Amino acid sequence: ERNVSWQVPQVEITDYPRVGWRGLMLDVSRHFFTVDEVKQYLDNMVKYKYNLFHWHLTDDEGWRIEIKSLPKLTEVGAWRQEQIGWFGGFSQPDPDAPKNYGGFYTQEQIREIVQYAKERNIQVMPEI
């Protein structure tokens, strides 16, 4: 049928968040996420209208920020032995085992993520 016409009533939709500060935390200290994974997290925040990214960057489990004048922070603090299992069921780490789990963000990568968030109207709140 070619001569079909539709009539749609005019509507006005006003859509805004109920509160101004809507945030989510990502704990990269305990479990490291790549730059691409952090960006994907930010993209998902936008879908649900979150506007504050609480970025948990440091803790005793991991140091994730490159400090050029203090390289030991990332040489030692960004890496640990990978442990798989249930919380409370892990054995003590072997001091001689390789520390092959973790990572850190370079200063440039941090700037890149902050800019990526800004372009999506997300404020970054780093926790150190």
Which CATH number characterizes residue 48's domain? 3.30.750
76 is a domain residue? yes
Cross-strand partners of 123:
52
46 is a domain residue? yes
16 is a domain residue? no
pLDDT category of residue 97 using cuts at 50, 70 and 90: confident
Count structural domains, the chain: 1
Contact 120, 42 (CB under 8 A): yes
40 is a domain residue? yes
11: amino acid identity, one letter: V
Q: What is the pLDDT of residues 112-124, one digit of tens each?
A: 999 999 999 999 9
In which domain, by residue range, is 58 found? Answer: 23-84+97-127
Q: What is the pLDDT of residues 4-21, one digit of tens each?
A: 888 878 888 787 777 888
10 is a domain residue? no
92 is a domain residue? no
3-state secondary structure of 114: helix
3-state secondary structure of 51: coil
Cross-strand partners of 62:
59
